[in-house]
């Protein structure tokens, strides 16, 4: 039997598959269902200070090869998630609280209360691409470092960053220096590829309502971008910093590719929304079969092992 368990920042996960923040994880009911599912963790929706309805609908659209969304951070507000976290611990799997903010000063307010609620890990989201008028913090190393400095002393559980996709090695190298200086415990790579546009040629319209149809791209179509970021940061940190690979995972082969590039675990978004919670069992079966066929007894055996030509 292949071993799909993994460890991130000293926290053991019963399986390397988990939901991505934003996918079926907004309400208490959705989070409890994740707890009962085969997901290796319960990842909360990225939370803001006040509850948010999010952007007008339609704001998600699946298409052949991926999805586009402009959700606008719909969430219950950090106080609601702080109250839920103790109940979510009953399932015996890690709880990852995803913290966001609309202003820099929001981050320490949320981080203090959420840390006290006792999640197993906290992911600071520097990459939400779907707030009109708000740039992605992760594209500004100085702003990113300011926020990290605000929250790093307040967080006593392992703290990670969810980062946007970078398209230039210089940007990855600049963020690597920030991350190394601030003692980050893990990375989540990547959030959706922002500022994309999908058109329905039959109706001659865009497919989502917010921002004139512009939104974040997810699903299979973004896998090469996600793999590039996982590999780049794995190499920049020489394999020492745990990475959660997110982006383009539809089947076991996709997960295997993320692990080969250096991921210690993977998160799923589009395929979870499209298939539902049963997808976790399918992905486990498919990844186990690949590892067994290749003679690997665990994901640790092949993590980061992709060969260069």
pLDDT digits (tens, 9 = 90+) for 146-155: 999 999 999 9
Active site residues: 128
Asked if residue 22 is part of any domain, the answer here is: yes
Q: What's the mean per-residue pLDDT of the chain?
A: 96
In contact, 59 and 215? CB cutoff 8 Å = yes
CA 90/CA 109 separation, integer angstroms: 26
Q: Per-residue pLDDT for 157 more than 80?
A: yes
Q: Per-residue pLDDT for 129 more than 60?
A: no
What residues form DSSP beta bridges with 298? 3
pLDDT digits (tens, 9 = 90+) for 132-145: 667 789 999 999 99
Tally the C-alpha atoms within 13 A of residue 243's C-alpha that lie toward its C-beta: 32
Asked if residue 63 is part of any domain, the answer here is: no
Asked if residue 202 is part of any domain, the answer here is: no
- At 44 the pLDDT is 98
CA 161/CA 147 separation, integer angstroms: 11
- At 128 the pLDDT is 72
pLDDT digits (tens, 9 = 90+) for 227-258: 999 999 999 999 999 999 999 999 999 999 99
- At 302 the pLDDT is 98
Give kind and range of the element (H or E) at residue 43: strand 42-43
Asked if residue 18 is part of any domain, the answer here is: yes
In contact, 227 and 210? CB cutoff 8 Å = no
Asked if residue 200 is part of any domain, the answer here is: no
- Cα–chain-centroid distance for residue 76? 19
Q: What range defines the domain where residue 13 resides? A: 6-55+73-195+219-301
Asked if residue 203 is part of any domain, the answer here is: no
Cα distances (Å, whole numbers) of residue 187 to 140, 176, 195, 255, 277: 17, 11, 22, 16, 24
The pLDDT confidence band at residue 130, using thresholds 50, 70 and 90, is low
Asked if residue 61 is part of any domain, the answer here is: no
pLDDT digits (tens, 9 = 90+) for 161-217: 999 999 999 999 999 999 999 999 999 999 999 999 999 999 999 999 999 999 999
CATH number at residue 244: 3.20.20.70
Q: What angle do CA 71, 282, 9 make, to 5 degrees?
A: 70
Count of domains observed in the chain: 1
pLDDT digits (tens, 9 = 90+) for 73-100: 999 999 999 999 999 999 999 999 999 9
Q: Per-residue pLDDT for 50 more than 90?
A: yes
Asked if residue 94 is part of any domain, the answer here is: yes
């Amino acid at each position: 039997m292949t071993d799909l368990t993994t460890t991130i920042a000293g926290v053991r996960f019963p399986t390397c598959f988990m939901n991505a923040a934003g996918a079926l994880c907004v309400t208490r009911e959705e989070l409890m269902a994740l707890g009962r599912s085969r997901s290796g963790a319960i990842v909360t929706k990225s939370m803001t200070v006040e509850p948010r309805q999010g952007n007008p609908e339609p704001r998600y659209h699946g298409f052949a090869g991926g999805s586009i969304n402009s959700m606008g951070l719909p969430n219950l507000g950090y106080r609601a998630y702080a109250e839920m976290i103790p109940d979510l611990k009953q399932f015996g799997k890690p709880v990852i609280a995803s913290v966001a903010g609309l202003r820099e000063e929001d981050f320490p307010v949320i981080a203090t209360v959420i840390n006290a609620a006792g999640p197993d890990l906290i992911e600071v989201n520097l990459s939400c691409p779907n707030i009109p008028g708000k740039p992605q913090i992760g594209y500004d190393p100085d702003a990113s470092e300011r926020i990290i400095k605000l929250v790093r002393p307040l967080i006593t559980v392992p703290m990670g960053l969810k980062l946007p996709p970078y398209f230039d090695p210089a940007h990855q190298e600049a963020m690597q220096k920030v991350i190394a200086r601030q003692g980050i415990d893990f990375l989540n790579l990547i959030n959706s590829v922002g500022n994309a546009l999908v058109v329905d040629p039959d109706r001659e319209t865009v497919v989502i309502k917010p921002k004139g149809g512009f939104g974040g791209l997810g699903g299979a179509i973004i896998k090469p971008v996600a793999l590039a970021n996982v590999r780049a940061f794995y190499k920049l940190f020489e394999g020492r910093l745990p990475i959660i690979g997110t982006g383009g995972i539809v089947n076991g082969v996709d997960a295997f590719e993320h692990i080969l590039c250096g991921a210690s675990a993977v998160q799923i978004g589009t395929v979870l929304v499209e298939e539902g919670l049963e997808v976790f069992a399918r992905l486990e079966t498919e990844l186990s079969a690949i590892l067994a066929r290749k003679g690997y007894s665990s994901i640790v055996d092949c993590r980061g092992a992709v060969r260069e030509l």
